[in-house]
Amino acid sequence: MVDAVDAKMHALGYALDRMAIELPQVYVRSRSKGDPNDLILLAGLVGALTHWFHGMTFMYHPHAWKGTVPKEIMTARILKRLSEEEQSKIEKSPKSLIHNVYDSCGLGMHHLKRL
C-alpha cells in the first residue's frame, strides 16, 4: 500500500519526506462504534507504515485533530478549506468509504495547520 502511494506521489512530481498518520484509539464501549478489536489490525498497519517509512512521522490520535466535532460538520470544514485544485484530485471512492478520504485530508490539513 505504501509503495503504491509512493509511486503515485512520484508520478505527480512529489517526494514523500514526512507522513502524518492517525493512531487508532480505543474508546470506552459506550462511546465506541463497531468492534474495538478491528483496531488491532489497523494499529499493526500503522506500525508497519512507520517502520517502512524513512522520513519524519507524525502521529495523532483522532481526538487530537478533530476533537468531538460531529463527522458531518468536520467534513464540511475540510471541504471548505480545500482549494478547487485539491478537491479535483480527490479520487472518487464508494460512498461507504469516502469519509476515510475526507479524514485523511483533514488529518493532513491539521498537521499543516490549515484546519
Angstrom distance (rounded) from CA 55 to CA 94: 31
Q: Specify whether 41 is located in the same domain as 1.
A: yes
Q: Diameter of the chain by CA atoms?
A: 45
Q: Specify whether 52 is located in the same domain as 103.
A: no
Give the position of cell 478537491.
87
Q: Which residues contact 1 (CB under 8 A, 6 or more apart)?
A: 45, 49
Give, for 58, the enclosing helix (H) or strand (E).
strand 56-60
Q: What does the pLDDT read at residue 31?
A: 64
Q: Specify whether 52 is located in the same domain as 102.
A: no
Give every residue of the chain whose pLDDT is below 70, as ranges.
1-2, 29-32
Angstrom distance (rounded) from CA 69 to CA 78: 12
Q: Specify whether 51 is located in the same domain as 89.
A: no
Q: Specify whether 100 is located in the same domain as 74.
A: yes
Q: What does the pLDDT read at residue 32?
A: 63
Q: What does the pLDDT read at residue 102?
A: 94
Angstrom distance (rounded) from CA 56 to CA 86: 23
Q: What does the pLDDT read at residue 97?
A: 87
Angstrom distance (rounded) from CA 41 to CA 101: 19
* Total number of domains in the chain: 2
Q: What does the pLDDT read at residue 113?
A: 96
Helices (H) and strands (E) in the chain — how many of each? Answer: 6, 2
| Residue span of the structural domain in which 34 resides | 1-60
pTM > 0.85: no
Q: What does the pLDDT read at residue 57?
A: 92
